[in-house]
Amino acid sequence: MPLMPEILPPALAAAGWIVALPMLVWAALRAHRECWHRPLQQHAWLGAIVAVALLWSLAVRSPAGPGFGLLGGALFALLFGRALAMLGLATAALLVTLLDGGGWIHLGMTIVLLALLPAWLATALQRRIERWLPHNVFVFIIGNGLFVTLATTAAISVLAMTLAVATQAPQHLLSDHLAYALLLAWGEALLSGMLFSALVIFAPRAVRTYDQDLYLPMSRSAP
């Protein structure tokens, strides 16, 4: 996995599997109970898995070790919800590890960092926006597509860079790598925000977290 360190301590790799396996079981059970029988959403979910796997495989590894690239986890969670995002992002990590010949022992921590944490954080922030801010379609698009994506991507980038530098790269490179990762997070937030807004407007059925009756009702009751 280009976005993860090539070598992890055995204890850290084992901890990743200990956390990842029960969370994936929970996500599978939750996704099985959810109603997502619409073909459009199924096709979009499968296509998003391939797209995220492609993004991760295109990451560039710096000479010091850590990789840089687009994450896509926040947008995935905003489109499909927490459970399906965990499963989809974990499947993308599995595909990249399989095709790139990565270390299978590190896959558990990869799933935790690039699948479970982004899905949980993005949906948690989304629920706070829904609870605290007005139910307006522009608030939904800007708040989720830009703010949630930026906050989630920045947080995961900082964790990934810290882990990579702590286990692989020289400590004095941490600040430079963090600055570059945060710059990429801002660019990803802009790209994700544009794509998210386009999907909400032109293909709202593909966005499982968008409730049109809540944010853009067709008719309002007279006062």
Was domain 10-215 assigned CATH 1.10.1760.20?
yes
How deeply is 139 buried, as exposed, middle or buried, from its count of CB atoms within 10 A (0-12, 13-18, 19+)? middle
CB 122 within 8 A of CB 143: no
**Computed over its alpha carbons, how large is the radius of gyration of the chain?**
18
**Token output for 115:** 């699948």
Q: What are the domain boundaries of the chain?
A: 10-215
Taking the C-alpha atoms of residue 139 and residue 95, their distance in angstroms, rounded to an integer, is 35
- The tens place of each residue's pLDDT in the chain, 223 residues long, gives 666 766 777 888 888 899 999 999 999 988 876 655 667 778 888 899 999 999 888 877 765 556 778 899 999 999 999 999 999 999 999 999 888 766 788 889 999 999 999 999 999 999 999 889 888 888 889 999 899 999 999 999 888 877 776 666 566 666 777 787 788 888 899 999 999 999 888 888 888 888 877 777 664 444 4
- For the CA atoms of 49, 55, 56, 60, what is the dihedral angle to 10 degrees? 180
Q: Is the dihedral of CA 179, 181, 185, 187 positive or negative?
A: positive
Euclidean distance between CA atoms 105 and 57, whole angstroms = 18
The answer to pTM > 0.85 is yes
